[in-house]
Amino acid sequence: MQNSGDSRATGVASTCDAGGQSGHAGDHPRPFAGLTIAVVPVMLVYAAFQRQVQSRLTAGQLT
């Protein structure tokens, strides 16, 4: 892992550092906001193309 003061820290490293030394205190809303920003677009794309994906998966099934 990189130092907590390093501006090039990855998302995982910065999320781990948000817990502080004890692992319990820290800035919890910021990592959860980042997680939401990362997950919501994936869920929207999945919801939009769910029928096409399922129909293509089941089109090749044996009867």
Reported as a single tens digit per residue, the pLDDT across 11-47 is 565 555 555 555 556 788 888 999 999 999 999 999 9
Domain presence at residue 30: yes
Q: How far apart are CA 15 and CA 5, in angstroms?
A: 13
Label residue 2 by pLDDT band (50, 70, 90).
very low
Domain of residue 17: give its range: 11-59
Q: What is the pLDDT of residue 59?
A: 80
Q: What is the pLDDT of residue 24?
A: 55
Label residue 1 by pLDDT band (50, 70, 90).
very low
Percent of the chain as helix, strand, coil, to the nearest 5: 60, 0, 40
Domain presence at residue 1: no
Q: What is the pLDDT of residue 27?
A: 81
Of 29, 2, 36, nearest in space to 17 by CA = 2
Number of structural domains, the chain?
1
Domain presence at residue 3: no
Q: What angle do CA 18, 1, 28 make, to 5 degrees?
A: 10
Q: How far apart are CA 45 and CA 52, in angstroms?
A: 12
21: helix, strand or coil: coil
Domain presence at residue 4: no
